[in-house]
Amino acid sequence: MKYLLLIAFSLCFIYFANAQGSHDNFKNKFDDVFEEDENENLTLRFFNALNGEAIPDAIVQIEKFGEFKSDEEGKVRFPIPDEDGFLQVHFECEKFITSDFKVEVIAGTLFFNRISVSPELDLKHLRIVLDWDATPKDLDAHFVKSNGYHISYRHTRVLTDGSGELDRDDMDGYGPETITIRNIDDLAEYEYLVHDYTNKANTSSAALARSKATVKVYGEGRLLYVFQIPQSRKGTEWSVFKLSQGQFIETNTLSN
């Protein structure tokens, strides 16, 4: 599989990174919001992209603040920076893909603090991970091969033609919702999109744009791309990227 070029058509943030469904109910999803106020610390949280479980014992380097180790809840706490802006975050953990991310501090708080990281991945596999905020409750990932298959919560597994599956469908906010494809056909065309199932009947909904949805693409055994949803539009369907003849093409459009 070749990843030759990403063509950006918009001002959406794209972070180039180096080196790197079932419905769960065990996560303590809401506690970190309150912790920040009590301790004057910011909290980053790391989750396994395949099952949504916290990642403990990860080594996390945060720009300006040094090295931290994630606790049993996958949390890393660090002081509030003096200035707003982006911080580089380097993640390493046994059996996971070493990845570099950027997190944004706005008004002394993290714009988004949940990062789902892929377990190590075969070089030929492609894994697409969707994280978002508390609402909408149910976003759905769709991966469509033109004139081929359509993987989503409705049809979760393809056994031939590149074989792939929806590893995890999240229906109660935050994600991760994850799709893994085992072989990409360089002659074929694919599209990845996110649908706001919760607000599907409301064509004027801006809930998806406000969801802070983030899509991470892992391939060639590393983190290839991070896509952020555009925040100022309406629509219940976010086309994130197309994959055409081995090339990623950012589409980044919201529609109904």
How far CA 101 is from CA of 125, 200, 224, 235, 245, in Å, comes to 21, 31, 11, 27, 27
238: number of Cβ within 10 Å:
26
- Using the minimum distance from each CB to Ca ion, give the nearer residue, 93 or 128: 128
Binding stretches for Ca ion (CB under 5 A)? 138, 140, 169-170
Q: Least distance (Å) from Ca ion to the CB of residue 177? A: 5
- Using the minimum distance from each CB to Ca ion, give the nearer residue, 167 or 169: 169
- Using the minimum distance from each CB to Ca ion, give the nearer residue, 43 or 152: 152
Q: Least distance (Å) from Ca ion to the CB of residue 160? A: 25
| Under 8 Å between Cβ of 249 and 192 | no
Q: Least distance (Å) from Ca ion to the CB of residue 175? A: 8
- Using the minimum distance from each CB to Ca ion, give the nearer residue, 132 or 218: 132
E runs forming strands in 66-176 = 66-69, 75-79, 85-92, 99-106, 109-110, 114-117, 126-131, 139-145, 150-151, 157-158, 164-168
Q: What is the Cα 173 distance to its own chain's centre?
A: 13
- Using the minimum distance from each CB to Ca ion, give the nearer residue, 102 or 210: 210
Q: Which residue is nearest to Ca ion (CB)?
A: 140
Q: Least distance (Å) from Ca ion to the CB of residue 17? A: 25
Q: What is the DSSP letter of 64?
A: T
Q: Least distance (Å) from Ca ion to the CB of residue 195? A: 9
Per DSSP, helices labelled H in the chain are 31-39
| Under 8 Å between Cβ of 95 and 81 | no
- Using the minimum distance from each CB to Ca ion, give the nearer residue, 140 or 250: 140
How far CA 26 is from CA of 22, 53, 110, 112, 156, in Å, comes to 12, 8, 24, 21, 22
Give the residue from 213, 210, 239, 118 showing the smallest Cα distance to 168. 118
Q: Least distance (Å) from Ca ion to the CB of residue 171? A: 5
- Using the minimum distance from each CB to Ca ion, give the nearer residue, 176 or 235: 176
d(CA 168, CA 179): 7
